[in-house]
Amino acid sequence: MMQVILETLQDHGGQNTPQVTPQVTPQVEKLLRVLDGQPAPIDRTSLQQALELKDRKSFQARYIKPALELGLIEMTQPDKPTSRLQRYVLSEAGKELAKRL
């Protein structure tokens, strides 16, 4: 799915098209912008603070899960998704998309 998004962006000179917009929510865009400015992996709590969000479940459902499913972010410990030591980073696809936002 992410490959389709990137190909669509490349085919249209990097402009957001109607095909891309519904797949990347405003919440995921905000998450990408925060992660794009981070030099190192960042934990969930710090991400929530940067986005000024309080509810953990909502943050997971509206920000983290969609970004993971689209392949825009990666977990530093994918075999332990609920680890207290879990951190998040932009994937290569996420970095590419963040440049275009």
pLDDT digits (tens, 9 = 90+) for 34-69: 999 889 999 999 999 999 999 999 999 999 999 999
User: Residue 30 domain-assigned?
Assistant: yes
User: Residue 46 domain-assigned?
Assistant: yes
User: Residue 8 domain-assigned?
Assistant: no
User: Residue 2 domain-assigned?
Assistant: no
21 vs 64, residue with greater confidence = 64
Domain of 63, in residue numbers? 23-100
User: Residue 70 domain-assigned?
Assistant: yes
The three-state DSSP-derived secondary structure of the chain is CHHHHHHHHHHCCCCCCCCCHHHCCHHHHHHHHHHHCCCCCEEHHHHHHHCCCCCHHHHHHHHHHHHHHCCCEEECCCCCCCCCCCEEEECHHHHHHHHHC
**Is residue 4 pLDDT above 50, yes or no?**
no
Note the pTM of the prediction, 2 decimals: 0.76
How many domains does the chain divide into?
1
